[in-house]
């Protein structure tokens, strides 16, 4: 059904603007009236609510309005349980909106229930709230509606959301210590540059000794930061803004995510996480009756890595030409040989779903191991970096002190 952008008056006489889904403009006005709104202007639009623009403000608003994964997991579990018990969708949503503690989720459930009462499908009603329900979530709901296996699909969604929440939590936990060390290192750097070094520079200048190279480098850095701090801040701000704008473009996302995959320590973690996500989601889509071509589209939108998503778009074109899945996967840069082999075996034996599940379990373990290994490796790397920085400043301060002591002893003799 088409969408209609409207401007209306609510019960308090205030303006109310948004988008409603209806068969035609007259039906849209009837829907608004049923919700207690007085339509002032109704115009057909191509985009559903929340998708009229795709700029930075919309992205920021969506991130601010997103909910905790725990709330989404609980909502999905409760919805699955109620539908399994034979409770109608609308009644289930009414109960859930009364029980949820998340205001964003509560408003979304109320909106979804209203859309369903107006004749919308469940998946299209969910799709209007992309800040809460991802593309994968909405596409899985659509697959469940089409195949008549909505409760089974919800069960699989619970597994995906819970698993990815735990993986992200483990990665954040592993990065907590390195981040704290880096912050401490930056603070120590500024303290040494602005408070410690100037005191020694004054002493060395009065003594008239020649400053060694490390000390001159620190002194030059101090002068730049002390006298041209606004230029440094301006350059950093411009660089941050430029990179942020570039990374919001499609080539920028591909370049950024490709660089992340090539990082020495973090790269293997991101690659294994992408493989685990691919295998688990693809297995679920296969079990839900989604075609391979549709699955490629869904995976491209939900894999979470723009560099890997490019491979899915290439794969889709090759699949349209009648080629199998394993052969195009071998030419893709992002996929590991083991995953390609398991997909190939699944294709030959006609047991793709089971092979993908095995691959997903294997890469789940690989991600846990990689996160643990990353945590173990980052410690020595940070200690080495800390040693280099502290050693550099020690040389900058103590080399002139040695010269000063030698100069003083020479004057005594």
DSSP 8-state symbol, 193: I
* 8 vs 84 pLDDT, higher one: 84
pLDDT tens for residues 343-385?
889 888 888 888 888 888 888 888 888 877 777 777 788 778 7
Give the residues across from 6 on adjacent strands.
18, 42
Nearest to 100, CA basis, from 136, 67, 65? 67
Q: How far apart are CA 256 and CA 263, in angstroms?
A: 11
Separation CA 23–CA 12 (nearest Å): 28
Is the pLDDT at 71 greater than 80? The verdict is yes
Q: What is the pLDDT of residue 246?
A: 92
Per-residue confidence band for 46, with pLDDT thresholds at 50, 70 and 90: low
Considering only residues 288 and 347, tell me which one the structure prediction assigns the higher pLDDT: 347
Task: Determine the straight-line distance between the first and last CA of the chain, rounded to whole angstroms.
Answer: 98
Do residues 189 and 218 make contact, with C-beta atoms less than 8 angstroms apart?
Answer: no
Q: Which residue has the higher pLDDT, 100 or 413?
A: 100
Q: Where do the domains of the chain lie?
A: 3-45, 65-133, 268-368
Mean per-residue pLDDT, 307-318? 86
The strand order across the sheet containing 3-9 reads 15-21, 3-9, 38-45
Please say if the pLDDT value at position 52 is more than 60: no
Name the CATH architecture for the domain at 268-368. Answer: Up-down Bundle (1.20)
Rounded CA separation 216/224 (Å): 12
Q: Read off φ and ψ for residue 324, nearest 5 degrees.
A: -70, 180
Residue ranges of the alpha helices (H) in 100-212? 103-117, 122-127, 135-147, 150-191, 197-207
Q: Is the pLDDT of residue 337 over 70?
A: yes
Q: pLDDT-derived band of residue 77, with 50, 70 and 90 as boundaries?
A: very high
In this predicted model, what pLDDT tens digit does every residue of 130-189 receive, in sequence order? Answer: 888 887 788 778 777 776 778 888 887 888 788 778 877 877 777 787 788 788 888 888
């Amino acid at each position: 059904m088409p969408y209609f952008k409207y401007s209306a008056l609510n019960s308090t006489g205030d303006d109310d603007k948004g988008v409603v889904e209806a068969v035609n403009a007259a039906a849209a006005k009837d829907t608004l009236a049923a919700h207690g709104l007085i339509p002032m202007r109704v115009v057909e639009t191509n985009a559903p609510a929340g998708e009229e623009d795709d700029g930075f403000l919309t992205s920021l608003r969506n991130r601010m309005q997103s909910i905790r994964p725990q709330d989404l997991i609980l909502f999905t579990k409760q919805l699955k349980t109620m539908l399994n018990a034979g409770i109608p969708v609308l009644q289930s949503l009414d109960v859930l909106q009364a029980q949820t503690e998340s205001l964003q989720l509560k408003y979304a459930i109320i909106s979804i229930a209203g859309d369903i009462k107006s004749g919308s499908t469940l998946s299209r009603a969910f799709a209007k709230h992309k800040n809460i329900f991802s593309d994968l979530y909405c596409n899985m709901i659509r697959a469940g509606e089409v195949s008549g296996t909505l409760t089974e699909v919800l069960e699989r969604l619970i597994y995906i959301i819970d698993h990815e929440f735990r993986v992200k939590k483990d990665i954040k936990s592993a990065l907590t210590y390195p981040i704290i060390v880096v912050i401490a290192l930056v603070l120590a750097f500024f303290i040494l540059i602005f408070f410690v070094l100037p005191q020694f520079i004054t002493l060395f200048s009065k003594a008239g000794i020649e400053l060694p190279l490390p000390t001159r480098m620190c002194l030059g850095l101090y002068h730049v930061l002390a006298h041209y701090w606004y230029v440094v801040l301006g350059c950093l701000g411009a660089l941050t803004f430029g990179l942020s704008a570039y990374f919001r473009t499609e080539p920028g996302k591909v370049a950024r995510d490709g660089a992340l995959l090539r990082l020495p320590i973090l790269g293997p973690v991101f690659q294994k996480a992408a493989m685990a996500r691919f295998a688990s989601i693809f297995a679920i889509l296969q079990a839900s009756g989604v075609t391979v071509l549709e699955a490629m589209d869904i995976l491209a939108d939900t894999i979470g890595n723009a560099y890997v998503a490019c491979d899915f778009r290439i794969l889709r074109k090759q699949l349209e030409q009648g080629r199998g899945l394993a052969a195009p996967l071998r030419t893709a840069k992002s996929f590991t040989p083991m995953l390609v082999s398991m997909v190939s075996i699944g294709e030959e034996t006609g047991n793709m779903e089971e092979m993908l599940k095995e691959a997903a379990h294997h890469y789940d373990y690989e991600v846990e191991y990689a996160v643990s290994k990353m945590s173990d490796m980052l410690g020595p790397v940070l200690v080495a970096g800390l040693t280099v920085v502290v050693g550099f400043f020690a040389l900058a301060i103590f080399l002139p002190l040695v010269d000063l002591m030698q100069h003083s002893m020479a004057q005594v003799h």
